[in-house]
Amino acid sequence: MTPATMAVPAARFADLLAAEWLKLRSLRSTYWALGVSALVVIAFNANAARADYADYPRYNTVMRAHFAGNALSDAFTNGAAMILILTAASVGAGTVVGEYSTGLIRTTFAAVPDRRALISAKATVVTAVITAYGAVVASVSFAVTQAILSGHGLGLSIGHPGALRVVVASALLAPVSALVGMAMGVLIRHSATTMVLTTGLLLLVPTFFTERYHWTACVRNALPFNAWGRLVQVDYGHMPYTLAHRYPSTVAGAWVVFAVWAGAAAVVAVGVVGRRDV
Amino acid sequence: MPGTGHPRDRGAVIEVNELTKRYGPTTAVRELSFTVRPGHVTGFLGPNGAGKTTTLRMLLGLAEPTAGTATVSGHDFRRHPRGLRHVGALLDAGDVHGGRSARAHLRALARSNRIAAGRVEEVLTEVGLAGAAARRRIGGYSLGMKQRLGIATALLGDPPVLVFDEPLNGLDPEGVLWVRGLFRKLAGEGRTVFVSSHLMSEMENTADQLVVIGKGELIAAESLVAFAARGTAPTVTVRTPNAGALAAVLASEGATVAPHDEETLKVSGVSAGRVGELAHEHHFLLRELTTEHASLEAAFMELTADSVEYLAGDSR
């Protein structure tokens, strides 16, 4: 071919989506991270259900009367949520820092000088893939845990009030975390620092803020991990043996927290990438 | 000049104008201006740290100039939403993800620029990475294989302008020969081929035009021949049993003759061809007649001596 034979076609966003999808699925680490963590998350939840199932005969009447709350908290446990956050955030960050740390980002930007379109495509693909991952993990966890509890006739159907919210909130916690990881990756660009700070932001910071003061409660409620906690706690405010909430949070507020973190992360990732030297 | 008559080729010129890049107090590139034209292999020479890579990164929109412009065909490269069909570049063979296969790496790049997957196979074959090598993870590649992959990446969009930063590093002798042939072929097709190197000896058999920089500033932008002329003039070594008589003849032609030993003369100011003719006319027997070209390396060293950033201790 001579230089003149190839006409330059119009740039399409769909091409960038296809390319980013190719990149994500051509790395073995993607499969390992998502596959192994999915099994661990499901195993954590199944184990919680198994423990409740085994202990149930020794529960008193009050505990038994409120068991639906237990059944739904077994459907997606705190530990499982932490693993989900770590996995999603590291895969999200990896799509960016994996390019910066290897130098691939220069090859990528030389091929696609429209950096904002490229990062938008990356964010779209990561969101889609990690949402699917979250949906599978949350759905399978719900099915497995309720199947275990159904041995005592305690398993709930997805139609039970709040059950669907537990599954959807747990599934969506994954893309929110992935986008935060990605934004941190674009900001920091170094693999290890990105992961330490992302883990700190998503998992450690929530433990620093209690509900004691109004402002700490506000910060606490505005964090994704706590927003998820609010969404999956179906018997929030009605649990026996717990203090009434001093500054209660709302379900609607928790959904807003999810949306704002995801949106802000996407805006930061696309906004920051602009004209910085690589 | 091949290809210059083609309408699309005429514009495929790299123009660097008063380009400056500062990193804090350090000036990597200072008011650099030069032009790279189609149909030639143009060498971009300078010692380590001269600012070659920084210049190429600004050309490709990877680094923002502090001042000045670097354009291809009159356009800022960053204005193109997709780049592979405009400029093909190999900046660093290591700018890849070791976890992907060469084929997956190229397919993703091709897809982002809407280049058919078939073109990936074409360039893999062209650089000698087709077959099993294409399926291997890049992390296991030698530097030479990574250079070949980088060249494949540059060729992917069949661009009118190609930029290579130190492409010969890590290549075996066969690879070096192949790359030189490839560059000449690309230039022969009317493309603009711009190749950086810190070794003059690499450019000697590769480039026909040179842009030489040192400490971020332009030292020379001219043809290889003109650049060579800046160094010592070529000398002709001639060995003959009639050394004394030939020396007299050559001196009368205006040449400078320096006897080397009983049979050997070192002659300058006259071509080897003319020495041969004169010997023939006078029936002198010649046992050796060779031209020692002005060493480009020497010209390069002379010109860049003041601008070498990193000098080994005992050379001072």
The reply to whether B144 and B74 lie within a common domain is: yes
For residue B208, list its beta bridge partners: none
Residue whose entry in the numeric block shows the structure tokens 């999603």: A88
Q: Decide if B94 and A102 are in contact by the 8 Å CB cutoff.
A: yes
B112 closest CB neighbour out of A5, A98, A111: A111
Chain A contact residues (CB < 8 Å to B): 1-6, 8-9, 11-12, 15-16, 18-20, 22-23, 26-29, 98-99, 102-114, 117-118, 275, 277-278
Model confidence over A143-187: pLDDT tens digits? 999 999 998 899 999 999 999 999 999 999 999 999 999 999 999
Q: Are B109 and A29 within 8 A, CB to CB?
A: no
pLDDT of residue B171: 93
Q: Is residue B301 part of a domain?
A: no
Chain B residues touching A117 at Cβ < 8 A: 81
* Mean pLDDT in residue range B7-28: 84
Residue B278, pLDDT > 70, answer yes
Q: What is the pLDDT, as a whole number, of residue B9?
A: 44
Percent of chain A at pLDDT > 70 equals 97
A192-197 contacts at long range (C-beta below 8 A, 24 or more positions apart): A194/A93, A194/A97, A195/A89, A195/A90, A195/A93
Residue located via tokens 């009367």: A65
pLDDT of residue B313: 61
- Token pair, residue B282, equals 């006078």
pLDDT band at B294 (very low <50, low <70, confident <90, very high): low
Q: What is the mean pLDDT of chain B?
A: 90
CB < 8 Å to A106, chain B = 57, 60, 62, 91-92, 95
Selecting from B8, B81, B107 the residue whose C-beta is nearest the C-beta of A114 gives: B81
pLDDT at A136 over 60: yes
Total residues found in chain B within this entry: 316
Q: Where is A229: in which H helix or E strand?
A: helix A224-232
Give a yes or no: residue B219 inside a domain: yes
Q: State the Cα–Cα distance between residues A267 and A256, nearest whole angstrom.
A: 16
| Residue B303 is assigned to a structural domain of this protein | no
Q: Does the distance separating the beta carbons of A26 and B104 come in below 8 Å?
A: yes
Report which listed range, A133-142, A208-217, B270-279, is most confident: A133-142
One domain for residues B248 and B223:
no
For residue B80, give the chain A residue with the closest CA: A113
Residue A19 lies in a domain: no
Nearest by Cα to B159 from A12, A13, A7, A18: A7
- Whether B256 has a pLDDT exceeding 70, the answer reads yes
pLDDT on residue A57: 93
Kindly state the average pLDDT of the residues B242-269.
89
Q: Is A81 a domain residue?
A: yes
CA proximity to B51, closest of B34, B76, B71: B34
* Full strand arrangement of the beta sheet holding B14-23: B26-36, B14-23, B67-72
Distance from the A9 Cα atom to the nearest Cα atom in chain B, whole angstroms: 8
Residue A24 counted as domain residue: no
Which chain B residue shows the shortest CA-CA distance from A1? Answer: B158
Contacts A8 to B, Cβ<8 Å: 82, 85-86
Element (H, E) at A207: helix A205-208
* Residues A106 and A278 sit within 8 Å (Cβ to Cβ): yes
Q: Determine the pLDDT at residue B291.
A: 85
User: In this model, does residue B295 exceed pLDDT 90?
Assistant: no
Backbone angle region of B194, left / alpha / beta, with phi > 0 → left and psi within -120 to 50 → alpha: beta
- Residue B6 clears pLDDT 70, i.e. is over it: no
Q: Using the predicted structure, report yes or no on whether residue B297 has a pLDDT greater than 90.
A: no
B246 in the same domain as B215: no
Window 186-245 of B: residues touching A by CB (8 A cutoff) are 189-191
Q: In percent, how much of chain A has pLDDT > 90?
A: 86
Question: Which tops the pLDDT comparison, B227 or B113?
Answer: B113
Q: Match 């005992």 to its residue by tokens.
A: B314
Number of structural domains found in chain B: 2
The pLDDT, as a whole number, for residue B309 is 64
Residues B164 and B193 in one domain: yes
Residues B170 and B276 in one domain: no
Q: Which residue of A has its CA nearest to B108?
A: A19
Residue A198, classified by CB atoms within 10 Å of its CB into exposed (0-12), middle (13-18) or buried (19+), is buried
Single-letter code of the amino acid located at A153: G
Q: Indicate if the pLDDT at residue B7 is higher than 60.
A: no
* Shared domain check, B259 and B111: no
Chain B 108-167, residues with CB within 8 Å of chain A CB atoms: 108-109, 111-114, 153, 157-160
For range B184-191, the mean pLDDT? 96
Question: B63, B76, B20, B58: which is closest to A277 by C-alpha?
Answer: B63
For residues A238-246, give the mean pLDDT.
Answer: 78
Interchain CB distance below 8 Å, B109 and A111: yes
Domain boundary among B206, B229, B252: B229
Q: Do B158 and A23 touch (CB under 8 A)?
A: no
| β-pairing verdict for B235-239 and B217-223 | unpaired
pLDDT higher than threshold 80 for residue B23: yes
The H or E element containing residue B235 is: strand B235-239
Are B194 and B239 within one domain?
A: no
What angle do helix axes A251-272 and A224-232 make, rounded to 10 degrees? 150
Cβ proximity of A223 and A206 under 8 Å: yes
Among the three residues B229, B260, B283, which one is the final residue of a domain in this structure?
A: B229
Q: Give the mutation candidate from B54, B80, B82, B163 for the A interface (greatest A CB count, under 10 A).
A: B82
Whether residues B255 and B123 fall in one domain: no
pLDDT surpassing 80 at residue B305: no
Closest among B84, B15, B249, B236 to A112, alpha carbons compared: B84
Mutate which: A91, A95, A96, A107, vs B, most B CBs within 10 A: A107
% of chain B exceeding 90 in pLDDT:
71
Two structure tokens written together for A31: 């499969």
Q: Which pLDDT score is estimated for A236?
A: 87
Residues 55-114 of B with CB under 8 A from A: 57, 60-64, 77-87, 89, 91-92, 94-101, 104-105, 107-109, 111-114
CATH number of the domain bearing residue B94: 3.40.50.300
d(CA A46, CA A143): 10
Q: Do A3 and B160 touch (CB under 8 A)?
A: yes
A109–chain B nearest CA distance, Å? 7
Structure tokens at A4: 């003149």
Q: Per-residue pLDDT averaged across B46-54, rounded?
A: 92
Please answer yes or no on whether A102 and B96 come within 8 Å at the CB atom: yes
- Distance, in Å, from the CA atom of B99 to the CA atom of A28, rounded to the nearest integer, reads 7
| B129 shares its domain with B265 | no
pLDDT top residue among A140 and B255: A140
Res. A73: pLDDT tops 50: yes
What per-residue confidence (pLDDT) applies to A238?
Answer: 79
- Asked if residue A245 lies in contact with residue A211, where contact means CB atoms within 8 angstroms, the answer is yes
Quote the number of domains for chain A.
1
- Residues in chain B closer than 8 A to A12 (CB atoms): 114
If asked whether residues B176 and B285 sit together in one domain, one would say: no
Whether the per-residue pLDDT at B2 is higher than 70: the answer is: no
Calculate mean pLDDT across residues A75-96: 97
**Average pLDDT taken over every residue of chain A:** 94
Q: What residues form DSSP beta bridges with B292?
A: B235
Structure tokens that stand for A139 in this block: 């759905």
Tell whether A23 is covered by a domain: no
Answer yes or no: is pLDDT of A9 > 50.
yes
Q: Which of A11, A23, A29 sits opposite B81 (nearest CB)?
A: A11
Q: Which residues of A touch B101 (CB under 8 A)?
A: 26
Given a cut of 70, whether residue B4 has pLDDT beyond it is no
Q: Do the domain assignments include residue B34? A: yes
Together in a domain, B49 and B158: yes
Number of A to B CB contacts under 8 A, please give it. 135
For residue A2, is pLDDT > 50? Answer: no
Q: Which domain holds residue A113?
A: 29-272
Which pLDDT belongs to residue B205?
A: 83
Beta-sheet pairing, B264-268 with B256-259 = antiparallel
* pLDDT computed for residue B60 by the predictor: 97
Q: Which of A22, A96, A122 to mutate to test the interface with B (most CBs of B within 10 A)?
A: A22
Position B225 in a domain: yes
On the question of pLDDT at A132 being above 70, the answer is yes
Closest residue in chain A to residue B38, using alpha carbons only: A3
| Facing B99 at nearest CB: one of A27, A117, A277 | A27
Residues sharing a CB contact under 8 Å with residue B261, sequence separation 6 or more, in sequence order: none
**Separation of alpha carbons B255 and A64, rounded Å:** 113
A114, B95: Cβ pair inside 8 Å?
Answer: no
In this complex, do A23 and B108 lie within 8 Å of one another by their Cβ atoms? yes
* B111 chain-A contacts, CB cut-off 8 A: 15, 18-19, 22
The 10 Å Cβ neighbour count of residue A54 is: 12
Q: Print the domain residue range for B71.
A: 7-229
Q: Name the most confidently modeled range: A45-49, B202-206, B213-217, B262-266.
A: A45-49
Helix, strand, or coil (residue B76): coil
The verdict on residue A194 lying in a domain is yes
Q: SS3 for A57? A: helix
CA-to-CA distance for B50 and B37, rounded, in angstroms? 22
Domain CATH code at residue B273: 3.30.70
**Could you give the 3-state DSSP secondary structure of residue B214?**
strand
Q: Hey, are the CB atoms on A113 and B87 less than 8 Å from each other?
A: no
Q: Spell out which residues of chain A touch residue B160, defining contact as CB-CB under 8 Å.
A: 3-4
Question: Could you tell me if B250 and B183 lie in one domain?
Answer: no
Q: Residue A4: which pLDDT band, with cuts at 50, 70 and 90?
A: very low
Cα distance from B63 to chain A (closest Cα, Å)? 4
Using an 8 Å Cβ cutoff, are B70 and B19 in contact? yes
